[in-house]
Structures are given as C-alpha cells and as structure tokens.
Amino acid sequence: NNKICTDVTKSTSVDVLLTNLIRGHLLPSARIWMTTRPEAANQIPAECVDMVTEVRGFTDPQKKEYFMKRFKEEEMAIKIISHIKTSRSLYIMCYMPLF
C-alpha cells in the first residue's frame, strides 16, 4: 500500500493507518508495539523495526505448575488440568499467556 496519510483527522482504512504508522508518516514521534504472528511480522520492512519482542507460550509443565499453585486443593487443580486437556481450544488458549 503506497497511500500516504499524515493527517490523524482523515478517515482511511486500517491497512493505510498501519502502514503509515509503521513507516512514520502518521504520528512520527509515536512508539508502536505491535503484536502479530511471525508470518505477518515478516511483511514489515526491516528498516521500520527497531526492536522485536517474542511472547513465548507456556510449556506443559508450566501449565500444570500454574494450576497447582493457583488452586489450593490439589484434587481440584488436577480436575481442571484434565478438563482443559479434553478441549483442544482451551488447551491452546493456556499456551499463550495473553489469554
């Protein structure tokens, strides 16, 4: 996308906003911390990136440790861990600390 946007009061598409924020045309003194999947991050030109932060997910032992510490009753923690393992989507959500 080559459309340049420098006016914060103008209405435009999300891709134009992001491109211009990343390239420094819009809000040039702003610091941007963008979260994305690695594939999408590779589409941002290297000259536009000052720093990269990688958020790593929890390992299986770390998930277990979390629930064992979070719930005082060990039996309850074990039941929760077992239930989470039966649901793929719940289990995946436990991988990323953002959830």
Here the tokens at position 15 are 């891709």
Q: 26 vs 48, which has greater pLDDT?
A: 26
pLDDT at 7: 94
CA pair distance 66, 58, nearest whole angstrom: 10
Q: Is the sign of the CA dihedral 88, 92, 94, 95 positive or negative?
A: positive
Q: What is the mean pLDDT of residues 23-51?
A: 88
**Residue 96 pLDDT exceeds 80:** no
Burial 36-45 (b: 16+ CB within 10 A, else e): eeeeeeeebe
